[in-house]
A = this chain, B = another copy of it.
Amino acid sequence: MSGSAPKPDAPALSGVLPPVPTTFRPEDGGFAEAPFVDNLERWMEHPLAGVLVLGSNGEAPLLTDDECDAVVIAARRAVPRERILLVGTGRQSTAATIGATRRAFEAGADAALVVTPSYFRDRMTPEALRHHYEAVAGEAPGPILLYHVPAFTAVNLAVPTALELASHPRIAGIKDSSGDVTRMERLTAGAPPGFAVLTGNASVLYPSLALGAAGAILAAACVAPATCCDLWRAVGDGDHARARALQARLTPLARAVTSRHGVAGLKALLEHLGWHGGPVRPPLRELSPAERADLAETWSRFEAGEEAP
Within 8 A of B (CB), among A248-289: 248, 251, 259, 262-264, 281-285
Q: Please, how many residues of chain A have a CB less than 8 angstroms from a CB on the other chain?
A: 60
For this chain, the copies found in one complex come to: 4
A74 at the interface (CB under 8 A from B): no
A256 to chain B, nearest CB (A): 13
Of all chain B residues, which has the CB nearest A202? B182
- If A206-B211, A211-B207 touch, does A282 touch B123 (CB 8 Å cutoff)? no
29 A-B residue contacts at CB 8 Å? A29-B95, A61-B92, A61-B120, A62-B92, A62-B95, A117-B283, A118-B118, A119-B152, A119-B153, A123-B263, A127-B285, A128-B283, A128-B285, A129-B283, A131-B282, A154-B154, A179-B181, A181-B204, A182-B201, A182-B204, A185-B206, A185-B207, A185-B247, A185-B251, A186-B251, A204-B207, A207-B207, A211-B247, A240-B240
A residues in contact (CB < 8 Å) with B: 29, 56, 61-64, 92-96, 117-125, 127-129, 131-132, 135, 151-154, 179-182, 185-186, 189, 201, 203-204, 206-207, 210-212, 238, 240, 244, 247-248, 251, 259, 262-264, 281-285
